[in-house]
Amino acid sequence: MNALEFIIAGMLAAATPFLLAALGEMVAERAGVLNLGVEGMMALGAVIAFIIVYHGGGHLLGFLAAGLASAALSLVFAVIALGFRANQVAVGLAIGILGQGLSALFGKTYESLTVKGLPKLSLPWLSDLPVIGGLFAQDVVVWLSLAATVAIWAIFAFTKTGLVVRAVGENPKAAHALGYPVIAVRFAAVAFGGVLAGFAGAYAAVVYTPLWADGMIAGRGWIAIALVVFGTWLTSRIFLGACLFGAVSLASLAAQATGLDVNSQLLSSLPYIVTIVVLGIISSNRRLLKLNGVASLGEPFEQ
């Protein structure tokens, strides 16, 4: 398998934690809520899933519990940021620190232990194609994440639910005047983001690299938040951005495997550097951000 085939085959799996977390954050931001606690929610989901799978609870239960735990953490965020109208940036940071702390606390006795990942499900015929065949052999979570991506896109494109979420984010006063429960919609959007962040963490810990190490999320939650900006709050672009980051993280591995003499610390920081560069390029297009951005993002709602 050459480097290109390696990247094509592994890209979607590497992209999945980014994709799930970013889509969840996108939904919350579309409703006008900036939750910066993604890193902590992912870390909590990761450790919960790992513990359950390690003790033989199975992947399904692991994912469900991870989603629930991260949703619970996101609801703490919602109560304080939306209920008590606290500064969303500060609450998000605190949730991030709390989540990472809980993750380290629960995971302490599991350090360096491993679990079994998930088998690949291949699409017949397509997965035998040369070069791109690997793209069609993925584990079940990747397939479900792709389905979820399409579903979220469809909800925002075609349904009233999607429209209500956007209205609440664009103009909460008007949405309130029309009789929509602004705070309830925001709570739901934040909780949805929490569930997806939990799934993202679970995928990272029990499928993608099924080995427990403290700090294993390694900034992926923050990159997911950046991805929402890259994708200008659009599902399709966020998907492309997640694939880009999946490919970048694999390119580092591929470079090392082929014996290319590149400094390993430079390779480890490549995703962060790419984030900084892309963030600069996209954000400098102020018109694009204004056009697609969420008008009330981060602002508390008072009726």
Partner 1 sequence: MSALSLRFLPVLVRREHASLAIKLLAPPVALGLATLLNLGLYLLMGRDPAAVFRAMLLEPFLSWASFSEVLLKMGPLLLIAQGLAIGFRAKVFNIGAEGQFILGAIFASAIPIWLPQATGQWIWPSMLVLGALGGAFWASLTAFWRVRLNANEILVSLMLALVAAQLLNYLLLGPWKDPAGFNFPQSVMFQYDAMVPILIPGTRVNVSLLIACALSLAAWLFMQKSFAGYKLQVGGLAPRAAGYAGFNEGRAIWISLLIGGFAAGLAGAAEVAGPLGQLQRSISTGYGYAAIIVAYLGGLHPIGIVFSALLMAALYIGGDNAMVSANLPVAAVRVFQGSLLLAYLVAIAFVRYRLEWRHAAQGSAP
- What is the binding site for partner 1 (CB under 8 A)? 36, 40, 76, 80, 83-87, 89-91, 93-105, 108, 176, 179, 181-184, 214, 218-219, 222-223, 225-226, 229, 263, 265-266, 268-269, 272-273, 275-276, 279-281, 283-284, 286, 289, 302-303
> Rounded to whole angstroms, how far apart are CA atoms 34 and 27?
10
Nearest distance from residue 163's CB to partner 1, in Å?
A: 17
Burial class (CB in 10 A: 0-12, 13-18, 19+), 130: exposed
Nearest distance from residue 282's CB to partner 1, in Å?
A: 8
Q: Which is nearer to partner 1, 9 or 44 (CB)?
A: 44
Q: Which is nearer to partner 1, 58 or 101 (CB)?
A: 101
> Rounded to whole angstroms, how far apart are CA atoms 27 and 203?
20
Q: Which is nearer to partner 1, 153 or 272 (CB)?
A: 272
Helix locations, 31-115, DSSP H: 38-54, 59-78, 88-107
Nearest distance from residue 275's CB to partner 1, in Å?
A: 5
Axis crossing angle, helix 3-30 with helix 38-54, rounded to the nearest 10: 120
Residue closest to 42 by CA, chosen among 16, 79, 60, 10:
16
Q: Please enumerate in sequence order all residues whose Cβ is within 8 A of that of 126, keeping only pairs 6 or more positions apart, or say none.
A: 133, 136
Nearest distance from residue 3's CB to partner 1, in Å?
A: 23
- Note the Cα 271 to chain centre separation in Å: 15
Q: Which is nearer to partner 1, 84 or 125 (CB)?
A: 84
Q: Which is nearer to partner 1, 15 or 95 (CB)?
A: 95
Nearest distance from residue 261's CB to partner 1, in Å?
A: 13
- Note the Cα 225 to chain centre separation in Å: 8
Burial class (CB in 10 A: 0-12, 13-18, 19+), 15: buried
CB 81 within 8 A of CB 28: no
* Six token digits for residue 101: 């702390």
Q: Which is nearer to partner 1, 9 or 41 (CB)?
A: 41
Nearest distance from residue 74's CB to partner 1, in Å?
A: 13
Nearest distance from residue 135's CB to partner 1, in Å?
A: 29
Q: Which is nearer to partner 1, 112 or 303 (CB)?
A: 303
